[in-house]
Structure 1
Amino acid sequence: MISPAAADALETWLASQSALGGAAQNTLTAYHGDLTEFLSFMTLHKGESQGLGPLTRISVTDMRAWMAFTRGNGVGARSLARKLSAVKSFYRWLAERESFDPTAVLSTRAPKFQKKLPRPLDQDAARAVIDTVELQSETPWVGARDMAVVTLLYGCGLRISEALGLDGRDAPLPAVLRILGKGGKERVVPVLDAARDAVQVYLDLCPHPKEDDGPLFRGVRGGRLSPRIVSGVMEKTRMQLGLPSTATPHAMRHSFATHLLEAGGDLRAIQELLGHASLSTTQAYTAVDTARLMDVYNRTHPKA
């Protein structure tokens, strides 16, 4: 049971993350769940309601107990690191507001884990996916819809949430799209003719009327298309083509970045297209070997 004071502090912090930090709703939901679990554990661990006073006196031992408990419930190192990051963010804010030393929390080290590098498809496989995905449905408009979505992921480097977040007012697709990505960061993405045409074919076949305030991509009942549906279609497609389980909707975005770099694209420009805050994140998105990266670097940044 979380004390009213702790619950109020949590809600106030979440509101500040939304208003000042521009955190997306999915991020806020994850924060709320992570902090609720943490505060609930501390209440049980301490045997008393954790008001603001007790929360300011959490020790290193308490933090270790929480981490051990969380790992014992089957939470992996990567997920625990994410939860710890949320707790630290909350405590930085709380310490400033309540004027206490948060060192015990902020000094807690995240568990080590090996980052999994993305696995993009090669160009032939990416084209095969686009050509095959519409065949997974016997309903023509549904097949055209799925092809349009996957074409946007690969042709524009969109996240699945960004593609499915498009509304009717966004069509017909313009030459460039303004995409609101993670953290409320806006970026401009060029739209290929193939993507624009694929979306138009879908719209011409779709039985649901296009509404400016309604979703561009609809499920069979007319609501906004679910990412799970796209993942299921991709699963059928990769099985038909004999592709590995890493051939997911997100892999099409990885492939977009990799193929641009292979074609000589500038890494910094690709970073902007993907909406990455860090260039190192963009590098991780590309499956180009070091020699290839150095070749691109030397051609785009020649030494004097």
Structure 2
Amino acid sequence: MENVNKSLQLFKEYLQIEKNYSEYTIVHYEQSIEHFFLFLNQESISNLSDVTYSDVRLYLTELYKKQYARRTVAKKISTLRSFFNFLLREKLISQNPFSLVSLPKREQKLPHFLYEEELEKLFKVSDVSTSLGQRDQALLELLYATGIRVSECCKLTLQDLDFSVGTVFVHGKGNKQRYVPFGSYAEQALTNYIQKSRKELLKKASVHTNSLFLNFRGGPLTTRGVRLILNNMIKKTSSTIHISPHVLRHTFATHLLNEGADMRSVQELLGHENLSSTQVYTHVTKDHLRNIYLSSHPRA
């Protein structure tokens, strides 16, 4: 399986260098591909060029037997199709056995978002008299104010903020870049953090960094670190709600649409390549409108 593993390494380099995917995304790609490699090993297939459409169908059967969710199956197939397309481009194989496979229809799950009352509780939990509390407050305000992805947030440097016009320069997926505005609450929290606590945290660092958000050792904050911060915030509110950086992104989009923002603008702010990715939030806003109608219309 040496050539197989070498092909995976080449693909990972392609995702990292050419596609500029986050480390988090690349790990998920790698896990899906390695899962398929285990299947190939069971079937005594040692060369990727020997994989046929029949083998792919058998692999799909195995996934369904193990009761994988349709969403998981769709992600695995999409990843493997991309992997084999890369191998085809590099002329390591002569055909893509996944090209004829149709993806299973995904279950339509509405994105989870927070109501304003839930958000207010979160905004009050950080002890802003401490360095870490000021950092946490600035992080929360910026994530909600901009709807940026956690990976995008962790890439931000001090130079990416422009307080004169209230925008942040975001380095998005696939080398795509965009400017996203932020409001007065985020501006105040970021100013407090940068002028005071960031300088305190930076003193603990062994190497100087321009990263906007720092951990308690003064190094760049990671995506895992952001998730831990948000989880700790939730614990302080004694709330049962689930929160992640992506929930804040969902909340950002939902609140904008609920207040009348047009979908194209929200698409641009989120950095979605396709409008269909943004349209999922209309299901939430339609539900919101229906509730308003039912509670307000005399003959509802």
- TM bin, normalised by shorter chain, reads 0.7 to 0.9
Q: Which moved more, 1:57-66 or 1:240-249?
A: 240-249
> 1:224/1:108 Cα in 2 relative to 1: closer, same or farther (>3 Å)?
same
In the other structure, the counterpart of 1:298 is none
- Which residue identity lines up with residue 112 of structure 2 in the other structure? R
Please say if 1:39 is aligned against 2:37: yes
Conservation of the 8 A alpha-carbon contact between 1:162 and 1:180: yes
In the other structure, the counterpart of 2:242 is 246
Q: Deviations over 1:192-222 (max 9, x none)?
A: 2221210121231341238973322122122
SS in 1 for 2:10: helix
Identify the match of residue 272 of structure 1 among 268, 272, 276.
268
Structure 2 unaligned regions, length at least 5: 291-300
Q: Which moved more, 1:267-276 or 1:216-225?
A: 216-225
Supply the distance in 2 between the matched residues of 1:93 and 1:231 (Cα, whole angstroms).
Answer: 32
- Which residue identity lines up with residue 261 of structure 1 in the other structure? L
In the other structure, the counterpart of 2:294 is none
Identify the match of residue 220 of structure 1 among 211, 216, 220.
216
> 1:8/1:190 Cα in 2 relative to 1: closer, same or farther (>3 Å)?
same
Conservation of the 8 A alpha-carbon contact between 1:130 and 1:147: yes
Supply the distance in 1 between the matched residues of 2:67 and 2:218 (Cα, whole angstroms).
Answer: 38
TM-score (norm 1): 0.78
Supply the distance in 1 between the matched residues of 2:38 and 2:131 (Cα, whole angstroms).
Answer: 48
| 1:184 CA displacement | 2.0
Q: Deviations over 1:134-153 (max 9, x none)?
A: 14x9x711111111101001
In the other structure, the counterpart of 1:289 is 286
**Percent of aligned positions that are identical:** 28
Q: Deviations over 1:239-293 (max 9, x none)?
A: 5546443333322222211222222212111110111112222122352117859
Please say if 1:197 is aligned against 2:188: yes
Conservation of the 8 A alpha-carbon contact between 1:120 and 1:252: yes
TM-score (norm 2): 0.79
Q: Which moved more, 1:259-268 or 1:75-84?
A: 75-84
Supply the distance in 1 between the matched residues of 2:208 and 2:218 (Cα, whole angstroms).
Answer: 14
Q: Deviations over 1:21-44 (max 9, x none)?
A: 444443333333322332343133
Supply the distance in 2 between the matched residues of 1:249 and 1:190 (Cα, whole angstroms).
Answer: 18
Supply the distance in 2 between the matched residues of 1:23 and 1:35 (Cα, whole angstroms).
Answer: 16
Q: Equivalent residues in 2 for 1:1-304 (5 A)?
A: 2-4=1-3, 6-46=4-44, 50-51=46-47, 55-70=48-63, 76-95=69-88, 97=91, 100-102=94-96, 104-132=97-125, 134-135=126-127, 140-170=130-160, 173=163, 175-203=166-194, 204-206=196-198, 207-209=200-202, 213-241=209-237, 243-285=239-281, 287-289=284-286, 292=289
Q: Which moved more, 1:176-185 or 1:89-98?
A: 89-98
Supply the distance in 1 between the matched residues of 2:22 and 2:229 (Cα, whole angstroms).
Answer: 27
> 1:80/1:221 Cα in 2 relative to 1: closer, same or farther (>3 Å)?
same
> 1:243/1:268 Cα in 2 relative to 1: closer, same or farther (>3 Å)?
farther
> 1:74/1:213 Cα in 2 relative to 1: closer, same or farther (>3 Å)?
farther
> 1:62/1:114 Cα in 2 relative to 1: closer, same or farther (>3 Å)?
same
- Which residue identity lines up with residue 249 of structure 2 in the other structure? R
Conservation of the 8 A alpha-carbon contact between 1:126 and 1:252: no
Supply the distance in 2 between the matched residues of 1:208 and 1:22 (Cα, whole angstroms).
Answer: 29
Q: Deviations over 1:66-118 (max 9, x none)?
A: 3344566675432332121111112233345257343x432234444414221
Supply the distance in 1 between the matched residues of 2:24 and 2:278 (Cα, whole angstroms).
Answer: 22
In the other structure, the counterpart of 1:301 is none
| 1:181 CA displacement | 1.3
> 1:237/1:15 Cα in 2 relative to 1: closer, same or farther (>3 Å)?
closer
Supply the distance in 1 between the matched residues of 2:121 and 2:9 (Cα, whole angstroms).
Answer: 47
